[in-house]
Structure 1
Amino acid sequence: MADIAQEAGFGKNQKLRQALLQHKALSRQGISERLFGLLFSGLVYPQIWEDPDVDMSAMELAEGHSIVTIASGGCNMLAYLSRSPKKIDVVDLNPHHVALNRLKLAAFRHLPSHADVVRHFGTADARSNSKSFDMFIAPHLDQRTRGYWERRSLSGRRRIEAFDRNIYKTGLLGRFIGAGHLIARLHGIDLTEMAKAKSLREQRQFFESHVAPLFDKPLIRWITARKSSLFGLGIPPQQYDELASLAADGSIAPVLRQRLEKLACHFPLRENYFAWQAFARRYPSPQEGNLPTYLRAENYKSIRANTERVTVHHASFTELLAQKSAASVDRYVLLDAQDWMTDEQLNGLWTEITRTASVGARVIFRTAAEKSVLTGRLSPALLDQWTYLEERSRALTLQDRSAIYGGFHIYTKTA
């Protein structure tokens, strides 16, 4: 069986290439797409950056629901299990994310206790994590996933040893956040000082006095004027163009400032683990704040009991739905994947969503810009079968603690 790492290269990952490439190789857009694809072919998201509490509220998630969701870092899929859905199909074109999701599921099934799960996924510098992997998790993994985590780098370290240090400093997103901290330090700002704020007022003061002025610096404006600067956030060229369309001068620096201001100032720090990862590069201690939903003690037993209800697929959303029977899915979670799609891909996806959707099914997704990506692009024959919950979507956009998206959207299947 081929090693999963060999599939990860962009040149060999035909599914990822088909999803990303829309222009000729030697065109400016084509070069940009291929550079993004090269970066995106490795581990991108050690943590997912969509708020699962907003997701579950929007879906009105309950027992008996059948869900199809994109994997990413896997945190949201595990959070959904706390509501005891009937089944979750998890899809991703990135085999690194597939391996991470399978690891997280096995950890919940086989680590001895909740404390062990928190130590593995919620604590930095826990040197025993790779030993716990060897003892409790590895024997239960499929050959491909185990081979992925035991594979050694040029330094001789196994991949699993990233959990001995800080997994959230790895991956494309982790390195991007690290680069942001480095640039801030070059301007005399230590972003980790945000963690000392004790109130929303202090969070606002730190942002206004230390963070906001950075976006007026020539270096940062120069960097953010280039599409490749945001590849580390997992933002492809198409999404960059959407963000740039929001600014009068085409610079996305003001847009990024606005999104970071929401992350830093709109929610109490102790309730926003996304802000902890952005500013402190770790999760809070129990005295400092709350862990992600899937790591909280009150959700542990139900998540552990329901892990067998999840199947992880290395496939596209449309590809998986094409294998399902009509009216068999209740909830769909698309993250921001539609921002990448051509009109043809978008209509192909929604053809399968509409065919497989049960009466009253819900689709949720996020967009870089504020408006729904379906407007003016999806065939009226498809769109007319769905109702857009605009007011509820707008309210939940404001509640999304990750703060990096312009819009959150809910569509429900018309009876």
Structure 2
Amino acid sequence: MESEVSRKVDFSIIRYAQCWEDPEILLEVLDIKEGDVCMSIASAGENTFAMLVKNPGKIIGIDLNPVQLRLVELKKAAFLALEYEEMLEFLGFSESRRRKEYYGKLKDYLLGETEKYWNENMALIEAGVINTGRFDNFFQIFRKKVLSLIHSQKRVAELLEKKNKEERYEFYNKKWNNLRWKILFRIFFSKFIVGKLGRDPRLFDYADNTSLSAVMSEKAKYAFTELDVSENPYIEYILTGKYTKNLPFAMRKENFQKIKSNLNRLELHNVSIEKYLETSEETIDKFNLSDIFEYISSEKYKELLEKIYEFSSNGAVLAYWNMMVPRSRPEELGNKIISLSETAKNLHAIDKTFFYSGFVVERIVK
């Protein structure tokens, strides 16, 4: 069973240098137990690393893009070879002039094509790799070219200050949501611009005529008012280009040693889920499926769900996100896969990566 995405997208670049999905709601719903066999879309690595905190028996990291796996292997090496603060500096979560020096400490943990790739891309290392993905660069362009025309750095800092809900609404309505914000935000977050500068335009093949910019505008308003912006690392990075107050879950100090000690439980595969399952004899208990179903037809989506069902344990949990293509198990699979829609809805309401239109949680029943 061939992956439909493999025929569409250029997999020769780093598309995501950071994971742009909230690992805290992911961990909440997966409820990983000690010894569970998990499958995770590798992407940029942070959410897969976060899953290691829960002591799974194994995590099978899958990605069609070999360069994404080179990135995950680099981050894995940084966990193993560096001290906590050094790792943050090296990867770009904090400022540093010593990244080439730190890279030298990783040599015993980088092998073959991974070592070759990074030796040939030292500029990415020196920039701090989390800043170098296509999607991450999209947010840098937004901050430098668009946000700077709308709000001053002082106003951005004011947005990120601690406020109660009433104060957040007052600030948003009176100081943030001006005409420039409304117009320029909607232009920049249109399907055309996002496809040209951020995500691959082919990844909108199955999106309907819903306006992406309208969805993003409403989601941004929700994140800036209903949720506590001062505790949101993703919004802080998007608006300032750095992390000063908050870090993503996998990069917090309290999780460093647990992840480091469990990295031997992670194995990485440059293959589609379909191909992996066809050759595997394992039973999977928990699935982090990112937003992969957006990129395939409804027919291929159903086929892949059936393949996942075949290789899942009874009670296995699937978690994934929707942005512009609504995907949830079709009714004809209702006797095999149960939708946990209320749980998903409640968690989506506190999702710090605010730009997804939906979060989906399903359970396998055998």
Structure 1 residue runs without a partner (length 5+): 1-14, 22-32, 246-250
- Counterparts in 2 of 1:202-281, with a 5 A limit? 203-208=168-173, 209-211=175-177, 213-214=179-180, 216-217=182-183, 221-222=186-187, 224-234=189-199, 236-239=201-204, 242=207, 244-245=209-210, 251-281=211-241
Alignment of 1:374 onto 2:329: yes
Shift of the 278–240 alpha-carbon distance from structure 1 to 2, 3 Å rule, reads farther
CA deviations on 1:187-236 (whole Å, 9 max, x unpaired) are 3423674234322356545544335633542x655555553534544264
Q: What does residue 26 of structure 1 align with?
A: none
Q: What does residue 174 of structure 1 align with?
A: 136
Q: What does residue 130 of structure 1 align with?
A: 100
Q: What does residue 306 of structure 1 align with?
A: 262
Distance in 2 (alpha carbons) for counterparts of 1:186 and 1:307:
40
Alignment of 1:19 onto 2:15: no
SS in 2 for 1:89: strand
What TM-score does the superposition give when structure 1 sets the normalisation length?
A: 0.79
Contact 1:148 1:159 in 2 (8 A): no
Q: What does residue 140 of structure 1 align with?
A: 109
Q: What does residue 251 of structure 2 align with?
A: 295
Structure 2 residue runs without a partner (length 5+): none
Percent of aligned positions that are identical: 23
Shift of the 211–42 alpha-carbon distance from structure 1 to 2, 3 Å rule, reads farther
CA shift, 1:348, in A, is 2.9
Distance in 2 (alpha carbons) for counterparts of 1:193 and 1:75:
30
Alignment of 1:53 onto 2:24: yes
Distance in 1 (alpha carbons) for counterparts of 2:140 and 2:153:
10
SS in 2 for 1:64: coil
CA RMSD of aligned residues (A): 2.6
- Counterparts in 2 of 1:47-86, with a 5 A limit? 47-86=18-57
Q: What does residue 358 of structure 2 align with?
A: 407
Amino acid at match of 1:143: G
Amino acid at match of 1:128: R
- Counterparts in 2 of 1:80-99, with a 5 A limit? 80-99=51-70
Q: What does residue 334 of structure 1 align with?
A: 289
CA shift, 1:309, in A, is 0.4
Contact 1:192 1:279 in 2 (8 A): no
Contact 1:59 1:331 in 2 (8 A): yes
Shift of the 50–301 alpha-carbon distance from structure 1 to 2, 3 Å rule, reads same
Q: How many residues align?
A: 361
SS in 1 for 2:279: coil
Amino acid at match of 2:194: S
Contact 2:69 2:268 in 1 (8 A): yes
Shift of the 307–186 alpha-carbon distance from structure 1 to 2, 3 Å rule, reads closer
Counterpart selection for 2:340 from 372, 383, 389: 389
Distance in 2 (alpha carbons) for counterparts of 1:244 and 1:132:
47
Distance in 2 (alpha carbons) for counterparts of 1:188 and 1:240:
32
CA deviations on 1:40-96 (whole Å, 9 max, x unpaired) are 641111110111110010111121111111011111111111111110011111122
CA shift, 1:371, in A, is 4.7
Contact 1:339 1:373 in 2 (8 A): no
Amino acid at match of 2:356: Y
Shift of the 53–372 alpha-carbon distance from structure 1 to 2, 3 Å rule, reads same
CA shift, 1:105, in A, is 1.1
Alignment of 1:198 onto 2:165: no
SS in 2 for 1:242: coil
SS in 2 for 1:330: strand
Distance in 2 (alpha carbons) for counterparts of 1:372 and 1:342:
10
SS in 1 for 2:38: strand
Bigger relative contact order (CA 8 A; separation at least 6)? 2
Contact 2:206 2:296 in 1 (8 A): no
Shift of the 93–238 alpha-carbon distance from structure 1 to 2, 3 Å rule, reads closer
SS in 1 for 2:352: coil
Counterpart selection for 1:350 from 280, 299, 305: 305
Contact 2:223 2:229 in 1 (8 A): no
SS in 2 for 1:90: strand
Deviates more, 1:188-197 or 1:390-399: 188-197
Shift of the 329–211 alpha-carbon distance from structure 1 to 2, 3 Å rule, reads same
CA shift, 1:239, in A, is 3.9
Distance in 2 (alpha carbons) for counterparts of 1:397 and 1:236:
25
CA deviations on 1:109-136 (whole Å, 9 max, x unpaired) are 221x2222222235343011221111x2
Q: What does residue 243 of structure 2 align with?
A: 283
What TM-score does the superposition give when structure 2 sets the normalisation length?
A: 0.89
Amino acid at match of 2:118: W
Contact 1:184 1:214 in 2 (8 A): no
Q: What does residue 314 of structure 2 align with?
A: 359
Distance in 2 (alpha carbons) for counterparts of 1:401 and 1:331:
22
CA shift, 1:278, in A, is 1.0
Amino acid at match of 2:338: T
CA shift, 1:186, in A, is 6.2
SS in 2 for 1:63: coil
